[in-house]
Structure 1
Amino acid sequence: MNKIESLTPSQIVVELDKYIIGQGDAKRNVAIALRNRIRRMMVKSDIQRDIVPNNILMIGSTGVGKTEIARRLAKIAQAPFTKVEASKFTEVGYVGRDVESMVRDLVEQSVHLVREVKNEAVKARAAEAVEEQILDILIPPVKGAGFRTTPVAANADDEPSDDSELNERTRERFREKLRNGELDDRKVEVNVKSAPPVGVGMIGNGMMDDASMQGLQDMISGMMPKRTKKRKVSIAEARKILLEEEVAKLVDFDEVKEEAIKLAENNGIIFIDEIDKVASKSGKNGGGPDVSREGVQRDLLPIVEGSAVNTKYGVINTDHVLFIAAGAFHVSKPSDLIPELQGRFPIRVELQSLTQEDFSRILREPKNALTKQYQALFDAEQVSLEFNDEAIEEIARIAFLINQEVENIGARRLHTVMSHLLNDFLFDVPDTIEPNSKIMVTKEMVQERLSTLVKNRDLSQYIL
């Protein structure tokens, strides 16, 4: 946590720059929003409860980096993050997802994060306990005077003077072999918990929400007797099975739930995409789908304003959850949202359309650049893939050209172009392109392989 607390807004922008090209204004605003959360937690007076996050509305066409900015921000903050599409929601009384489900998804993510941290903290202790369990299976301990154990792999010429002394020496010998992996393939019999039933069928009365129903199912499942069965598995597999069970014993799940609720309340980020799809279009007066769109907005409003939501882990208050909404707003405008919802997103950021130069930088600079991803795929087959500068410029030019001529889908167009360029090579490896080969992508190769894609761009808009 100390590392996160020390991050300044400029350092947060530097971290975002490693994965996202351009969009400096959006990066600055999300960096300030994240730093403000850290600042709020540092406030000692009662006013801390009254400091609410400045939710952000991102405006920009598809593929310019809206989702990636929000997702990377959550990773930097080590915060629970969930993404939802506003168009999947319908107002209460219509068939569709309940708006509160996004808060429940956030809490699930939070529980997962906290549980991972707790599991990691006890993993060393759990591994020691598992080691002892496996040794007990291999070398059963001496049960008392007069009881003689025959060790599984004791040397015949080892004549012990004392059973317990021999047992201890043999255990230590096996412990060493176990740690060196020499016994990983050996089969042992272990008791494994049977998988719980898929679900307890219940007929609801129409008044229970998803969280209450899930909580009741969990309670009934918890009351059912736990069954175990014997399985013969390798020691390597037994170690994994037993480790999970030991870790679960050492972690207090009530503590996990309590911490997860706090983490979601204070650090949670909910990204609401396609917010423009639930905006009533300008000039429309009540009726038809616009009524339902406005209904979704009114259902979203209390969640964004701050309300208590019931989840199967407990009640979570959304007052300090950071909401980032995004939309292209090609047809509707931000002002078409209901005034109350507009007021809950005070920070508005317009993301710029990507240029040809941006495409070129996207192919080169990010840590997860497409060129690096394809190089990693070819490296897995011991084939070297390289791009010269002219080839990258040509790929960027063609992708930008197709976006202009057909439909602008932003940086996602690069995936289409790159797969068209390299799919033949991926098919030929390793059958006809042998390991230790080298593939050099040049401007001429790009032009030759993508010429049909460019020529047929007028037809591509009709291809489903």
Structure 2
Amino acid sequence: MKTINEKIPNIEEIEKEIGSFLSKKFGGTVRLASTVPLSQEEETERTGCLGKNDKKLNFDLKPESLISYLDQYIIRQDNAKAVLATKICTHYNRIKTFNSYPDLADDMFCGVKNNVLMLGPTGVGKTYMIKLIAKKIGVPFVKGDATKFSETGYVGGDVEDLVRDLVREADDNIELAQYGIVYIDEIDKIASSHNLIGADVSRTGVQRALLKPLEETEVDMKVPHDPISMMQEIERFRRTGKKNRRVVNTKNILFIVSGAFFDLAKIIQKRIANNTIGFGSTTPKTRSYANVLKHVKSEDLIEFGFESEFVGRLPVRAVLEDLDNNDLFEILSNPNNPIILGKKLDFAAYGIDIKFEEKALRILANRAFDENIGARGLVSAIEKALIIFERYLPSTKIKKFPVTADAIENPKTYLENMISAHNEKQEKQYTDDFDRFVEQEKVFIRNYLIANSNSLSQRYNLTLTQSRINLISDYYSSHIMDVGVIIRKIKTLCDEMKNFELKFFKNHDTNIVIEDDAIDFTLEQVVNSSVKPEDIYNKISINFEYGLKLIKEKTGKNRFFITRQALIDPDAYISDILKNGLGETEKQPEKG
């Protein structure tokens, strides 16, 4: 090992040499970071154990469950959600099945991978949908722009960089990265025009560069001619004395590509029109853009400018629909949408609570629709309407901001009136509006939870009692988080309450069953005050330990049902049992 160190320059010498080059080339604007992070393999060799990167895919979702999950966040797009959820679930369940039978030959499971081509206008939620799916499944996700690939010719380096990015997203866990999702947007921009030369050669080259990753290839983690990659390789060799080639296999990586494909509709319409010419034919009715794309065939994509081999590697197609102003309003009204939640966070950064009137959301949706860029228009519409309030309100004492229709339509006047509201009557008007919007929000959330109670209860394994629905709606109104996060929080607290039963038995040798109404009662205390779950247990232990022990000695019973009323008045609960002598402590009479 000493000989190796003498022949190979150390890391400081390499850094100094590269740093000198960068300084001459770019001046002081580009500097070299000296820290070389350890890879997963190196960390394992150093510590002898796997750390946080010891994470593997554990997939058990069914298509209907994934569709139900997407329904909570995505408005409309029923066909696209169904196609994506079904084929993605099939892709990962197929991988799980294959991994369960390692002795089977690879060719028994070989076939065309379920890579997806998404077609639809901008701003309809394509990227958002894929991010949600990746998050739900628990696999790394990266997004690339196909237009950037064309800038580098047809070498295909950028395509491989996306695969390397998956490893970084997976915290350097190559095994997990090999189950990831690569999403490439604006794929329609790399279609060739056939009648052009120059740029179109590059586009065709990018398509060919994508062929192998779309199917199966190995991507080397070491990037040729990259000084940082070379330094890491040298440092790894210096530490271990081994050359360790790290590669990522793309066999199980799912590729999803998307584009607007505006000119494709003309090709499809022309084909449909030609097919209808003849005896007894009828002129096809005018179809919407999305309805035309639903009839896409491989031949249309090839005529559009894609190589046949490229089209063949994208067997699954999902068409997304245009969004109208009602759809945009539903997006804003959705309690899980990041747009309104993000705006609430913006004002909360200055200690200002903001609530929206339904009419105001309607106006914002109409303005976004007029911009004709889909859901992306919602962000710009809201920013444009509220930027004046975000600028001036933090410098005032105002802490509650009711966004009315008037605030959207006449922002300057509304702001001036808010700031200059000196008398009680004027201030009360804004307070009353704010409180009214709070109640409207609570009612909306309650109705939302009731309408989706079955799917939500199944997803989070939590019975949504009326008390819990009220608690969630109240919590949503006073905190900035989506409904799913709140339900998970309630579920965690419920699990803690049920664990009290086991803890009580271990400490006091007495079985207690905490009823749902008692759990809900404790939830209200924990959520609405500073009481901690441990405080609740200590109180239960103090209030019931000796009384239940006495009853157990007198009656021989060792199982007690703790209700809400029992928690409110434990002395009366114990007294009632003692008054009944050897009375009933069980819910059902015992047989015999």
Q: TM-score, normalised by structure 1?
A: 0.59
Residue 298 of structure 1 aligns to a residue in which SS? helix
C-alpha distance 383-99 of structure 1, shift in aligned 2 (>3 A): closer
Give matches, 1:419-438, under 5 Å.
419-432=383-396, 434-435=397-398, 437-438=399-400
Q: What is the aligned partner in structure 2 of residue 38 from structure 1?
A: 93
CA contact (8 A) 1:88 1:97 kept: no
Q: 8 Å contact 1:88–1:96 — kept in the other structure?
A: no
Pairing partner for 1:329 from 261, 280, 283: 261
Structure 1 counterpart SS, 2:67? helix
Q: What letter is aligned with 2:180? A: G
2:125 corresponding residue in structure 1: 65
Gapped regions of structure 1 (runs ≥ 5): 113-256, 452-464
Task: Output aligned runs, 1:47-58, within 5 Å.
Answer: 49-58=109-118
Query: Aligned residue for 2:320?
Result: 351
From 74, 77, 89, the counterpart of 1:23: 77
1:377 aligns with 2:346: yes
- Paired residue for 2:402? 440
Tell me, yes or no, if the aligned pair for 1:276 and 1:334 is still in contact at 8 Å.
no
Counterparts of 1:285-304 in structure 2, within 5 Å, are: 285=195, 287-304=197-214
Distance 1:381 1:22 in 2: 35
- Give the secondary-structure state (helix, strand or coil) at the position aligned to 2:174: helix
Query: Aligned match of 2:249 in 292, 303, 317?
Result: 317
Asked if 2 retains the 8 angstrom alpha-carbon contact of 1:91 and 1:296, the reply is: no
Q: Report the counterpart of residue 209 of structure 1 in structure 2.
A: none
Question: Which string of whole-angstrom CA distances, capped at 9 and with x for unpartnered residues, describes residues 337-362 of structure 1?
Answer: 11110011111111101111111011
- Structure 1 counterpart of 2:77, which letter? Q
Query: Residues 384 and 294 of structure 1: is their aligned pair in 2 closer, same or farther, counting only changes over 3 Å?
Result: same
- Which residue number in structure 2 is paired with residue 150 of structure 1? none
Q: d(CA) in 2 for partners of 1:3 and 1:340?
A: 30
- Residues 450, 338 of structure 1: CA spacing in aligned structure 2 closer, same or farther, 3 A cutoff? farther
Contact 1:362 1:369 in 2 (8 A): no
TM alignment of 1:224-243, pairs within 5 A: none
Residues 38-437 of structure 1: pairs in structure 2 closer than 5 A = 38-43=93-98, 44=101, 45-46=104-105, 49-90=109-150, 97-110=157-170, 112=171, 260-265=173-178, 267-281=179-193, 284-285=194-195, 287-312=197-222, 314-331=246-263, 334-335=301-302, 336-400=305-369, 402-403=370-371, 408-432=372-396, 434-435=397-398, 437=399
CA-CA distance at 1:96 after TM superposition: 8.5
Deviations 1:75-122 (A, max 9, x none): 111101111111111487668853221111122222x1xxxxxxxxxx
SS of 2:395's partner is coil
Q: Provide the C-alpha distance between the structure 2 equivalents of 1:24 and 1:310, rounded to a whole number of angstroms.
A: 39
Structure 1 residues 450 and 414 mapped into 2: Cα distance closer, same or farther (>3 Å)? farther
Residue 57 of structure 1: CA displacement?
Answer: 0.3
Aligned residues: 294
Q: What is the CA deviation profile of residues 52-88 of structure 1, one whole-angstrom value per residue up to 9, with x for unaligned ones? A: 5311100111111111111111111110111111111
Query: 2:409 corresponds to which letter in structure 1?
Result: Q
**Matches of 1:301 and 1:413 in 2, distance apart?**
35
Query: Judging changes above 3 Å, is the alpha-carbon distance between structure 1 residues 263 and 369 closer, same or farther for their aligned structure 2 residues?
Result: closer
1:131 corresponds to which residue? none
Which secondary structure does the structure 1 equivalent of 2:159 belong to?
Answer: coil
Deviation at 1:329, TM superposition (A): 1.0
User: 2: CA distance between counterparts of 1:450 and 1:417?
Assistant: 16
Which amino acid is the alignment partner of residue 406 of structure 2?
A: E
Q: Residue 21 of structure 1 aligns to which amino acid in structure 2?
A: I
Deviation readout 1:20-62 (Å, 9 max, x if unpaired): 2221212112211231112431243435642553111001111
Q: Which has the higher contact order (CA 8 A, sep 6+)?
A: 1
**Structure 2 CA distance, aligned partners of 1:52 and 1:41?**
17
Q: Which residue of 2 aligns with 1:133?
A: none
| 1:286 Cα deviation after fit | 5.1
Question: Which residue is 1:222 aligned to?
Answer: none
CA 1:102–1:439 in 2, change beyond 3 Å: closer, same or farther? same
- For residues 60 and 250 of structure 2, the distance between their equivalents in structure 1, rounded to whole angstroms, comes to 25
Q: How far apart in 2 are the matches of 1:413 and 1:334?
A: 29
Counterpart of 2:15?
none
What percent of counterpart residues are identical?
Answer: 39
8 Å contact kept, 2:153–2:206: no
> What letter matches 1:72 in structure 2?
L
Q: Distance in 1 between matches of 2:135 and 2:221?
A: 24
**Distance in 2, Cα, partners of 1:327 & 1:91:** 18
CA contact (8 A) 1:309 1:315 kept: yes
Distance 2:412 2:186 in 1: 32
| Counterpart AA for 1:415 | V
